[in-house]
Amino acid sequence: MLRLGRHAFDDDVTLMMAIVNRTPDSFFDNGATWAEDDAFARVAEVVAHGAEIVDIGGIKAAPGEEIGAAEEKARVVDFVARVREEWPQLVISVDTWRSEVGAAVCEAGADVLNDAWGGADPELVDVAAQYGAAIVCTHTGGATPRTRPFRNQYDDVVAAAIADTVGYAERAMAAGVSRESVVIDPAHDFGKNTFHSLEITRRLGEMVATGWPVLVSLSNKDFVGETLGLDVGERLTGTLAATAICALAGARVFRVHQVPETRQTVDMAWSIAGRRPPQRAIRGLQ
């Protein structure tokens, strides 16, 4: 069982986590959902497309204007409350590394704290435990939040990702977070070059074998663009190829921009793996 705040999911299902950026400078949509009503319309769209989770973020990952905790909360807290009121059955995740912001969004109704920066604020696990929230434990190689990787080196990037995420997961449990509410994420691109992210993708089954549910955030990432020589708006096919590989390996949660395309890719891969039956199977039987 995977428990995300007030919501529970069986172990044989995959989940779409749709990205909703409350930022004016997001890398993919260039601030298309910066205005609150536009962000709200985005939530309505992805819910209609079948997303089980929305991941709301108030700060872009890349370097840029310094955004303090007060401004981050202004961007996400009231919005979380509005989404919670409109969609009680929707899982609300917030992309933040700050415990202060985590507490505020949990008060507003968030179910998941998605820490993209690998425990940069050690008190975030305490917040998750206090509010009964789930937490996403990522591997960043110790990167400082909002910095780009530069000549990161690993003896074995997959071993490092497993050690760090499992260690983070165990710290979360020690703080009081339920084991059912901990997810690990290798964090493609974060603290990694393209070769590292490709290797993580190729060997994702090793992370799945730890027994912790694995989340992957592949959508339109730089490792896809660099591999194929494509700009941000041209990376869907490459993203879906990487998604299929991770789904075949057993990833459970997929953080995405394009929900329907990703859902079809994941469902096909899980069916090929024998984890999911076809919607129908009458060919050659009737």
Q: Give residue-wise pLDDT tens across range 119-158.
A: 999 999 999 999 999 999 999 999 989 888 889 999 999 9
Q: Which residues are catalytic?
A: 221, 255
Percentage of residues in the chain having pLDDT higher than 70 = 100
Q: Is 183:134 a contact under the CB 8 Å cutoff?
A: yes
Chain centroid to Cα 92, Å, comes to 12
CATH of 2-272, one of 3.40.50.300, 3.30.70.260, 3.20.20.20, 1.10.1280.10: 3.20.20.20
DSSP characters over 115-164: ETTSSSSTTHHHHHHHHT-EEEEE--TTPPTT----S---S-HHHHHHHH
Give yes or no for residue 214 having a pLDDT over 80.
Answer: yes
Asked whether the CA dihedral 40, 84, 57, 75 is positive or negative, the reply is positive
Give yes or no for residue 267 having a pLDDT over 80.
Answer: yes
Report the chain's mean pLDDT, rounded to a whole number.
96
Give yes or no for residue 275 having a pLDDT over 90.
Answer: yes
d(CA 137, CA 187): 9
How far, CA to CA in Å, does 137 sit from each of 38, 78, 225, 244, 249?
29, 25, 25, 22, 19
d(CA 272, CA 111): 31
Instruction: Give per-residue burial for 171-208: e unless 16+ CB within 10 Å, then b.
Output: bbbebebeeebbbbbbbbbbbbbbebbbbbbebbebbb
pLDDT of 67 reads 93
d(CA 173, CA 196): 28
pLDDT of 286 reads 85
pLDDT of 146 reads 82
Q: Is 254:18 a contact under the CB 8 Å cutoff?
A: no
For residue 192 the two structure tokens come to 């990694």
pLDDT in tens, 56-82: 999 988 888 889 999 999 999 999 999
How far, CA to CA in Å, does 231 sit from each of 115, 217, 227?
26, 18, 11
Q: Cα angle vertex 53, ends 64, 105, to 5°?
A: 60
d(CA 143, CA 127): 22
